[in-house]
Structure 1
Amino acid sequence: MLRHDSHVRLSTLLALLSLQAGLLHAQEADPAALPDEPGTDLPALTEPDANAPATDAATGPAAMMAGGSVSQNVTINLISRLVKRGMLTQEDANDLIAMAEADAQAARLRDESMRVAIADAAAPPLEEGDVGVSYVPEPVRQQMQAEIKAQLTAEAREQEWSAKNPKPEWKEQWEIFGDLRTRYEGTFFGDGNDNTGAFPNFNAINTGSPFDVAGTQFSPQLNVDEDRQRFRFRFRAGAGFDLEDGFSGGFRVATGDSNSPVSTNQSFGTSGGNFSKYQLWLDRAFLSYNFGKQLDADVNIDIGRFENPFFASEVMWDDDIGLDGIALRGSHQVADGVKVFGAGGAFPIFNTDFHFASNQPAKFESTDKYLFAGQIGVDLKIKDDLNAKFSVAYYDFSGAEGEFSSPYTPLTSSDAGSSDATRPSFAQKGNTYMPLRVIIPDASNGFGTTNQWQYFGLATPFKNVTFTGRLDYDGYEPVRLSAVGEVIKNVAFDENRLALYGVNNRGPAGAGGGSGAFEGGDMAWFLNLIAGSPSFDKRGDWNTFIGYRHVESDAVIDGFTDSDFGGGGTNMKGFTIGGNYALSPSVRVGARWMSAGEIAGPTLKSDVLQFDINAKF
């Protein structure tokens, strides 16, 4: 505090009052004339505020004055002169400067508050819907500016605002994908296979000219005794696109030796050989609509040609198969760790040619074939490291079985029968077949001894009930242990019809000659054990598997089942063993060995060895 020396106190007060009056007069004339830096405001000579910040003694005006430095602040220099002349002690000077700093800080806060109040009073009144914004201090504004800048920079990086060549909008809605596989495949036949004409190639007959069963030539026959080695490749490319508002779609093209529904393999050296070019087929083309938001579930409707929507093994459906028609599929979480799923639809299998029969003016009634199918299942999270998936499905292959024609006498091999369209348009091998044409014997055909041109259809209807399950155990991460199983029964199996009309899948003829007893069946089951990486996301990922299957002759339609095991088709049992290894996230190699043997009918054993290199993009 100031000392009570009257002479010093009076002189000091007079000097400071005079200085304050002069400075106030100068500020009114020219506000810019006074320095605008901390510590230069004119003290009000009031008692210091206890809450005001203290001046730093090491760097403030008092330290400057004590060190003999000259300040640009007139007041500080004046106080310094008074100290030098002995009119003030150093302690009094320090007290005066501290009070002046506190008063200056209080004045700045007061003036800023008055400025905001005046601005608010001058602003127009807020109307309904307007938002009033209070004064934001400078440090807060700077922090907000930094945060907004950081956020905008992150968004720009994510959305590629600053890219030199940003993606066009249409590219954001498209996803291009594809894969390439090259394969070595060797097929090796065991000793003792029946090569006496016991294995007609029904697909070759039904897709060509009808076969004269009364002739002296063998029908087209399957290879059952000569080993074959071939190099094959598969190329597929397509795109998926988002059409917004729940709509999406896609397409894919693929290679293939033919338009087979179960294989996109192209063998090198075929299709003309001599380095001839290969064909591309339209493999997928579909439109999809997701309306799950309205139902609080994931529900899609697909139309066109699309991926198989059913949860099934390769015994029921080959991995390459695509279905035509319309499908409804979806899933819904009903409880913690419990999700139900389902699929169903109608799928045209065959539609009669519009002009059938083309060589006569009166046309035959259309013979259309459909698959009507439905499936329901449940996904279960049993434990953190144990998951299960189970389903039951029903497949009704309506009209797939062969039918007898109206009786007639074909004059040439091209004279069509009324039921010719009931024959399969594609088949592999294994199902039981029956002749379709009811040919009237007369003089033109030697009373049934010549000109017996025939096509062949499936000898039984097919309605499959299928139980499929999968268990995944992740207790040994990153290795997953999985088991996949399936049981299938053809509940429409007609053994009496097969025994009467079936021409294959029979045992040895009896002592009296004629056909042997029918030996086919209606059941199939499959079990596959897998260990390894659940996905091939990085170099070094691997898996290995071993499986066994038993597929009786008429358990499933041979044209839709696995095309690799035993050369494709049904009426086989045996083992599969193999594995895969990732060379990179996009390239992997694999190998498998498949050993198969016939269940019913004459002996047929085969082993298939495959080495693959797969690349995807």
Structure 2
Amino acid sequence: MFKNRADAEWRALPLAVSLSALICATPALVTPALGQTADEAPATPAKRTDTKRPAVSSTKPTSPNATINLVNLLVKQGVLKEEQAQALIKQAEDEAYVSRQAAKDASSKADEAAKTATAAAAAAQPAGTKHVTYVPEIVKRQLREDIKKEVMAKAQQENWASPGTYPEWAQRIRFYGDARVRYQGNYFPTGNDQAGAANYNAINTGPPYDVSSTSFGPTYDATQDRNQFRFRGRLGMEADLLYGFTAGLRIATGENSSPVSTNQTLGGGGGNFSKYGVWLDRGYINWQTWGGDLSVSAGRFDNPFWSPTDLVWYRELGFDGFAVQARHEVFEGFTPFAVAGAFPIYNTDFNAGNNLPSDPTNPDGSPPSKFPSHDKWMFGGQLGFNARVSPEYAFRFGVAFYDFDNVQGQLSSLCQVRSASDVCDTDLTRPSFAQKGNTYFPLRNILLDPPGTGNNTGGTNVGLYQYFGLVSQYRPVVASGQLDIGVFHPAHIVLDGEYVYNTAFSRSYMNAQAAIYGSLMNNRGPSPDGGTTPGPFNGGNQGWLGRVTVGNKEIRHLWDWNVHAGYKYLESDATLDAFADADFGLGGTNLKGYFLGGNVGLGENVWATLRWMSANSIAGNPYAVDVLQVDLNAKF
């Protein structure tokens, strides 16, 4: 048959002419008119003399050419003989071949003539003359088609010409976010000591506190119940930069720059429907290689250390600095992992300095001086493994060590303080953020006025304006474990546990400091004689948490559910109170108690949460609080 459509069209033309001539020349081939039967058709002028027709195959293949199909049909119906049909087809093929050859020869001769004419014209023109070659219209059309195909191919590849799609670079950017509306009830039982609930964070982030005053300084609320409606909103973006690099940003709500809360209390921040602030919550660059087994992060990113509970780290805490994470499956079901990093906690301001004489005993002969920097860092490392014993059982374990460098408070050199604007050389050793629970002491070694003069009494350890620093050093070791039982999948039973021990803690040192600073140091026991003199230091350096969760591991769909219950015990100086859970006991360390709660899915990525937390202080002044949280969550 024909090789292509062009062949079919060339061959169809002479074949159609031949067939038309054949039909016109043979009256016997005329078919009945429209609406007539075979009996009503005009009679033929001559009768056929042959009584037996040649055999024709009934399985004649169908041709892509309509004229040849018609010839074959006429043969099948007995109008044409097989030999006549083959002769017509061969004639058509011969005529088509002659036509193609003629066209080919004509095109070749035209090309040669055009080349000759162009060469002659070029020879006749002087040097430097520019020529514009005539481009036939058919060539122009072909060029337009080629350019169009090239542009459309590029458009399809980069997705900028397809409705509803984005360019390739835009498809490598992922947006995500979540929103939460919360009711929180804070209920304080009777017996709390309001006077002993000192708010060291308010003191250290504001003007220094006048310790000689008989009025109470800044304190946490420990007696009045509070009801709050709060909102949290976060919007993030992560971009795939190729070659293993990604970059991310996230903004979040928040009443202040607290590292452990992105909540915004409705009606807070001035009230009267005033607008709320938005903070930069994440900003990082990450690089992964070896199929994701090695990851390097820099900037402000999620906690790189595995921590199944919030005993040491608040679950939403962001880390500033540099971290390396590595993991590798050594055999099926067993994957060791390691994490290491360095994180700046505080970086000294360039303007930190003393505007007073550097020698308070010789104010006229000593110029003002600037303070040396007092940067604070946290260095951490963790080793652990994931083990999947079977499809129904998985176990994870890790041990971490954290070194909080330069966070311990330091007593200043002799310092003259006459107003709240005066500074001393160790003021920078105070925490720039704290919750509550750690043990604090006054940092300033104030130069006392002679008795009866100036603005203080001259008594031992008595001064006007004080800042407070951490008494202990902090180098905690944290052991973490999790057992996942999936026998009842999709419902799971998950057992979480964590233990922390501050290796830098010294009880003898803490007791010695308590003897020096008296009531200006917190976490003291009751007076041994029942008087007003505080007892010895009764804080500690250990903590643990146990929790059991039953239900779906993640709440994603309608009616997904889980419930949990646990107990927490975290002594005063087991870890820094600044980074511990902000909800249990309203934040910090030196707390013990139970908690329980649950989640239920209300739709796709929409769920409700209910939590009840009951906490009591371990050391120091009596303090207890029950917290109820009811959340409506959504993420996208």
TM-score range with shorter-chain normalisation? 0.7 to 0.9
Of residues 336, 351, 354, the one that matches 2:350 is 354
Q: TM-score, normalised by structure 1?
A: 0.74
**Aligned twin of 1:452:** 464
One-letter amino acid of the counterpart of residue 446, structure 1: T
| CA distance 1:305–1:68, change in 2 (3 Å) | closer
Question: For residues 285 and 345 of structure 2, what CA distance do their matches in structure 1 show?
Answer: 19
Contact 2:269 2:276 in 1 (8 A): yes
Distance in 2 of aligned mates of 1:217 and 1:251: 45
Q: Which runs of 5+ in 1 are unaligned?
A: 1-29, 36-54, 78-99, 101-155
What is the aligned partner in structure 2 of residue 586 from structure 1? 605
- Does the CA-based 8 Å contact 1:286-1:304 persist in structure 2? yes
Q: Which amino acid aligns with 1:414?
A: S
For 1:216 and 1:454, how far apart are their aligned partners in 2?
14
Q: Counterpart of 2:588 in 1: which secondary structure?
A: coil
Q: For 1:199, which of 191, 197, 201 is the aligned residue?
A: 197
Q: Which residue of 2 aligns with 1:412?
A: 419
Following TM superposition, by how much is the alpha carbon of 1:270 offset from its aligned partner in structure 2, in angstroms?
1.1
Decide whether aligned partners of structure 1 residues 68 and 166 sit closer, same or farther in structure 2, where only a CA change above 3 A counts: closer
**Equivalent residue number for residue 229 of structure 1:** 227
Which amino acid is the alignment partner of residue 287 of structure 1? I
- CA change 1:481–1:158 in 2 (3 A) is farther
CA drift at 1:32: 9.8
Partner of 1:342: 338
Partner of 2:144: none
Judge conservation of contact 2:250–2:282 (CA < 8 Å) in 1.
Answer: yes
SS in 1 for 2:578: coil
Judge conservation of contact 2:436–2:588 (CA < 8 Å) in 1: yes
Q: Is the 8 A contact 1:297 1:332 kept in 2?
A: no
Map 1:4-83 onto structure 2 (within 5 A): 69-75=77-83
C-alpha separation in 2, matches of 1:380 and 1:199: 45
Match of 2:400 among 386, 389, 393: 393
**Correspondence 1:276-295 to 2 at 5 A:** 276-290=274-288, 292-293=289-290
Residue matched to 2:433: 426
> How does 1:217-296 map onto structure 2 within 5 Å?
217-290=215-288, 292-293=289-290
- Tell me the distance in 1 between the aligned counterparts of 2:301 and 2:56: 79
Q: Deviations over 1:489-518 (max 9, x none)?
A: 000012122222241111111227532111
Distance across 1 between alignment mates of 2:623 and 2:161: 66
Displacement of 1:390 in angstroms is 0.6
Find the aligned partners of 1:34 and 1:338 in 2 and give their Cα distance: 83
Write out per-residue CA displacement over residues 558-584 of structure 1, whole angstroms, 9 at most, x where no aligned residue: 110000001101111111111111111
Q: How does 1:460-471 map to 2 (within 5 A)?
A: 460-471=472-483
Shift of 1:56: 10
**What is the match of residue 315 of structure 2?**
319
Shift of 1:531: 1.1
Alpha-carbon distance in structure 1 between the residues aligned to 2:598 and 2:566: 12
Q: Who is 1:610 aligned against?
A: 629
Which residue in the other structure is 2:565 paired with? 546
Q: 1:168 to 1:158 in 2, by over 3 A?
A: closer
One-letter amino acid matched to 2:181: T
Q: 1:306 aligns with which of 301, 308, 312?
A: 301
1:280 and 1:397 map into 2 onto residues whose CA distance is 29
In the alignment, structure 2 segments of 5+ residues that lack a partner are: 1-13, 20-54, 62-71, 87-154, 357-367, 515-520
Q: Does 1:555 align with 2:574?
A: yes
Match of 2:207 in 1: 209
Partners of 1:159 and 1:364 lie apart in 2 by 57
1:176 has 2:184 as partner: no
Query: What is the CA-CA distance between 1:448 and the residue it aligns to?
Result: 3.2
1:520 to 533, 539, 549: 539
Contact 2:563/2:599 (<8 A) preserved: yes
Distance 2:421 2:177 in 1: 43
- Check 1:480–1:367 CA distance in 2 against 1; reply closer, same or farther (3 A cut): same
Q: Which amino acid aligns with 2:389?
A: I
The superposition leaves residues 99-151 of structure 1 with CA deviations (integer Å, 9 ceiling, x where unpaired) of x9xxxxxxxxxxxxxxxxxxxxxxxxxxxxxxxxxxxxxxxxxxxxxxxxxxx
Paired position in structure 2 for 1:507: 525
Q: Structure 1 157/389 Cα, relative in aligned 2: closer, same or farther at 3 Å?
A: farther
8 Å Cα contact 1:505/1:601 also seen in 2: yes
The 2-side partners of 1:237 and 1:68 are apart by 76
Match of 1:483 in 2: 495
Deviation at 1:356, TM superposition (A): 1.0
What CA distance in whole angstroms lies between the structure 1 residues aligned with 2:532 and 2:613? 36
The 8 Å contact of residues 470 and 483 in structure 1, kept in 2 or not, is answered as yes
Give the Cα–Cα distance (whole angstroms) in 2 for the partners of residues 74 and 468 of structure 1. Answer: 92
Equivalent residues of 1:498, 1:518 under 8 A apart = yes
Task: Give the counterpart letter for 1:509 in structure 2.
Answer: S
**Cα distance in 2 between the residues matched to 1:453 and 1:252:** 39
C-alpha separation in 1, matches of 2:413 and 2:333: 58
Q: 1:56 to 1:536 in 2, by over 3 A?
A: farther
- Distance between the aligned counterparts of 1:582 and 1:440, measured in 2? 63
CA distance in 2, matches of 1:505, 1:288: 42
Question: Counterpart amino acid of 1:348?
Answer: P
Within-5 A mapping of 1:572-583: 572-583=591-602
| Change beyond 3 A, Cα 1:417–1:554 | same
Distance 1:56 1:409, change over 3 A: farther
Q: What amino acid sits opposite 1:254 in the alignment?
A: A
Query: Offset at 1:187?
Result: 0.5
2:326 partner amino acid: G
Contact 2:56 2:82 in 1 (8 A): no
Structure 2: distance between partners of 1:162 and 1:276? 44
Partner amino acid, structure 1, of 2:418: L
In structure 1, the residue matched to 2:123 is none
Alpha-carbon shift at residue 452 of structure 1 (Å):
2.8
Residues in 2 aligned to 1:384 and 1:157: alpha-carbon distance in whole angstroms = 43
CA change 1:355–1:70 in 2 (3 A) is: same
Shift of 1:604: 1.3
Partner of 2:132: none
Taking structure 1 as reference, are residues 157 and 340 closer, same or farther at Cα in structure 2, changes over 3 Å only?
Answer: farther
SS in structure 1 of the partner of residue 625 of structure 2 = strand
Q: Distance in 1 between the 2:249 and 2:298 partners?
A: 12
Note closer, same or farther for the CA distance 1:504–1:32 as it changes in structure 2 (3 Å cut): same
Look up the equivalent residue of 2:347 and give its one-letter code.
N
Residue type at the aligned position of 2:80: Q
Q: Give the distance between the partners of 1:162 and 1:263, measured in 2 at CA.
A: 44
Letter in structure 2 aligned against 1:524:
G
Partner Cα distance (1:570, 1:33) in 2: 103
Structure 1 position 409, deviation (Å):
2.2
Q: Distance in 2 between matches of 1:455 and 1:545?
A: 41
In structure 2, what is the equivalent of residue 151 of structure 1?
A: none
Q: Is the 8 A contact 1:328 1:344 kept in 2?
A: yes
Distance in 1 (alpha carbons) for counterparts of 2:591 and 2:76: 109
Confirm or deny: 8 A CA contact 1:435 1:501 kept in the other structure.
Answer: no
For the residues of structure 2 that align with 1:412 and 1:310, how far apart are their CA atoms?
44
Tell me which residue corresponds to 1:366: 373
- Mapped partners of 2:533, 2:164: distance in 1: 78
Cα 1:571–1:68 change in 2 (3 A) is closer
Q: 1:441 Cα deviation (Å)?
A: 2.2
Aligned to 1:8: none
